[in-house]
Amino acid sequence: MLILSSTIHNLNIMILTNIAKQVVRTMSTFRLALVQLEVNEVKRKNVERAVSYISSAKEHNADIIALPECFNSPYGIRNNLFFFQ
């Protein structure tokens, strides 16, 4: 039982080591764009502003673009049905 347990433990270490080597081998760099924008109660303007920032990020070769959680509406807006379409 002890020998089997030791063998399984060694096998687990080998597997984890191989996974770690693969992760290091496949890691690469990327360009991240974080968008921070003023939001108001005019949904169309909010979306247009976000699209403008997305276009700018694309021009700067962003691989990933992150928008605020409520980029199209003020946070805690009372008229949820209009904004959360």
Give the domain ranges of the chain: 29-71
N-to-C CA span, the chain: 60
| Tens digit of each residue's pLDDT (9 = 90 or more) over 18-62 | 666 666 555 578 889 999 988 888 888 988 999 999 999 999 999
**Residue 39 contacts residue 73 (beta carbons within 8 Å):** yes
Among 2-6, 49-53, 68-72, the range with the most confident prediction by mean pLDDT is: 49-53
How far from the centroid of its chain's Cα atoms is residue 80's Cα? 25
Side-chain-side CA neighbours of residue 30 (13 Å): 11
Distance CA 65, CA 33 (A): 5
Cα separations in angstroms, 30 against 27, 33, 46: 10, 10, 27
